[in-house]
Amino acid sequence: MSEGVNPEETINFGPGESVSPVSPDYGQGTETGKVALLHAGEFPLLGFSLHLLLSQQTQAIRTLSLDVNVGLQLARWEKSNNISLVIDQHQREELLARFKEAVRIPTVSFSDTESNTTALRQFDTFLRKAFPKVFSSSLVHHELVANYSHLFRVQGSQPKFVPYLLLAHIDVVPAKESDGWEAPPFAAKEIDDFIYGRGTIDDKCSLMGILQALEYLLIRGYAPRRGFYIGLGHDEEARGFNGAMNIVRVMKERGVKLSFILDEGMAVVDGVISGLDGPAALIGISEKGSANVKLSVSMAPGHSSMPPRESSIGILAAAVKRLEDNPMPRLFGYGAERETFEHLAHKFGLPLKFIMSNLWLFSPLLGRVLERKPLTNAFVRTTTAVTMFNAGVKVNIIPSLAEAHVNLRIHSAHSLQEVLDFIQDTVGDERVKIELIDGFDPLPISSSDEQSFGFQIIKKTVLDMFPTLTVAPGICIGNTDSRHFKDLASDIYRFAPVWFKPGDVQRFHGINERISKKNYEELIVFYFNLIQNCDIQKLPEPHTSVHEL
């Protein structure tokens, strides 16, 4: 995944954690659109009238007692005769050897314009050797896109069934053993039943898992009813402008419309969220937006022996300090993150269960707790990060130009324009030029209700494998290739059943990236089952009434 992943931070309501529900000052700036809604909702809890509390009583009781996994588990599914995947020891050795070979090919994207094209060509050759059935089957049409990306179309027997798309990416971010890796990052070395290497979780586990699952299905003679596509971009870590965007172009030219898209993004978290009873599978239903903004100050240069009252560096530094001192407003509860906490509420003990089940009342309180740590602050607001500051050429010259670059990740209740307006008002200095380098709004929020075909198919596939998991929608704070495909499908999901325990999130784009051998095998089984689960015409009626028990 490009530029980070989706960390979940510990939520603690221990000693010394008492929090007033009254909001603090948001700082300077004009707040427009949905931001204003937050002000209207933040006032002392004691000021709520009794009739408002009573009006929410039924909803609170339902939420507190709700088991979000029950509905479709108890429903009568159209198709129940899936082929089971039993992997013997010989197959296990082969699939692990193939995966290690994929990791050893250093398909690094260094920047938007520089990648290891030699490795990308080598990876193409490797895929054709590793999955002969995929590349030779009459059911599969394959083509190279933009020289290094791959697009597969798997023909379905029922042309009226709207196809779907499975996405993954070939490239990885740079890695050096000298950074502190326990094993060389492109050696795919085994340590304690884990395979270490750059790309093991981001994102060659999904890529290889999808193709290995399809290979096994084709070997067993399986012919899907619902056709589907597989897209493998080669520059996701460099924003996908050549790979994913050209795959989209090809599909648009052919008039392709998709029922849903599944890409990397979120995972199974186990012991990561303090107080949560058991692990949870979080399926990303949206991504934060992004913006890169340049601030600059230009003045006449001068000699350091006769400095002006204010220099370009000083003016710009003051503007940057105002941005850091005045973070974007808290918007917790007004975006996709609300569904996450409401779905997980029944897995917490009191008082967290009550708080999360009643975010209509407690969003301000929970938001103030979450904003205290960088990881969970990302779920609360649009984040502001000053990433570059450049000025000066010589110690005795007052520089004429000072520049700073700011990266912002935009909350789903915010817009790009609102963020730019906030920056303008907060900086509040006409001498500081504010320039948008690039940016985009938060991605639309995909459906996750009981009539949502893609979400419920993914959820069923997870629960068939791991019946005790809680499945909940989530929000990606990083970005994936899937954002380029939003014109092809209204529902885009970001998930792979990679298991994360405390500390594992930091392995994304960090040191000692790894996946257990067992977990990689689980990914193959997941995609093997998912493809078969999609071969139904429609979802069953959701379980909603007592007489069905």
Coil, strand or helix: which one is 327?
coil
Residues 6+ apart with CB under 8 A from 510: none
Residues 6+ apart with CB under 8 A from 308: 299, 302, 398
Residues 6+ apart with CB under 8 A from 419: 291, 328, 382, 408, 410, 439
Known catalytic residues are 171, 236
295 closest CA partner among 387, 170, 208, 198: 387
CA distance 352 to 366: 10
Q: List own/partner pairs for 47-55 with CB under 8 A and 24 or more apart.
A: 48/361
- Residue 427 phi/psi, 5-degree rounding, is -65, -45
267 closest CA partner among 363, 203, 315, 175: 203
161 closest CA partner among 457, 482, 525: 457
DSSP state of 201: T
Which tokens sit at 293?
């903004």
CA distance 365 to 22: 8
Residues 6+ apart with CB under 8 A from 20: 365, 368
CA distance 88 to 167: 27
The H or E element spanning position 165 is strand 164-169
Q: Which amino acid is at 382?
A: T
522 closest CA partner among 482, 462, 474: 462
HSE, side-chain direction, 13 A CA sphere, residue 203 = 33
The H or E element spanning position 498 is strand 492-500
HSE, side-chain direction, 13 A CA sphere, residue 102 = 31
Strands (E), 178-288: 189-191, 194-196, 228-233, 261-269, 280-287
Helices (H), 255-373: 312-325, 337-344, 352-357, 359-370
275 closest CA partner among 370, 372, 365, 350: 350
